[in-house]
Amino acid sequence: MTRRTVLIAGVAGAGWQRAGRQLLAALGPERVRSAVCGWLALAGEPRSLPVASYYGSGTAEFEVDPFNVRALQGVAALLALAPAHPDSAAALGRLVEAALLRIPGVGPRSHKTASAAVHALVQLGDEDAYGELERLAGTVKYRPTVNLITRALAARTV
């Protein structure tokens, strides 16, 4: 499953989506949703083992490595392929917040992961997903992500 979850450049292309749908069919959408929501809940937690910071600022307690960033983007996109569910929207909303946690002297942990989670919420497209986007519109401060959320909410009302 790991190889299928990693996106190239954070975008779920047609081939990736086809493979994701096959994975959902093979494992079952409820099983995938349960596993992915559990993994995404860990995204805001500090690392379990101390490692040196990529930015040279001591330990990387809240930094994410590039492989994990791409995997998080992939499982967010995979979750968006599953049938909409309130747990999916909540997990993606928490991922947006976790990805935008600020690392002192660096900035957000992974704004691209936050963007991938917002795109996944839009792709879910149900009331829970748009409710989560509305909640995030009031809490997120990172301007590019705010703009993405605002555009998604505006497109829904058109």
| CB-CB contact of 34 with 88 (8 Å) | no
% of the chain exceeding 90 in pLDDT:
56
**Cβ–Cβ under 8 Å, residues 37 and 82:** no
3-state secondary structure of 108: strand
Residue 101 DSSP symbol? P
Residue 55 in this model has a pLDDT that exceeds 80 = no
pLDDT at 110 over 80: yes
144 pLDDT above the threshold of 90? yes
**pLDDT score of 11:** 59
Q: What is the mean pLDDT of residues 131-145?
A: 96
For 121-149, give the DSSP string. Answer: HHHH-SHHHHHHHHHHHHH---HHHHHHH
Which tops the pLDDT comparison, 102 or 55?
102
Say which range, 28-37, 60-69, 75-84, 128-137, has the weakest mean pLDDT: 60-69
Q: What is the pTM of this model?
A: 0.85
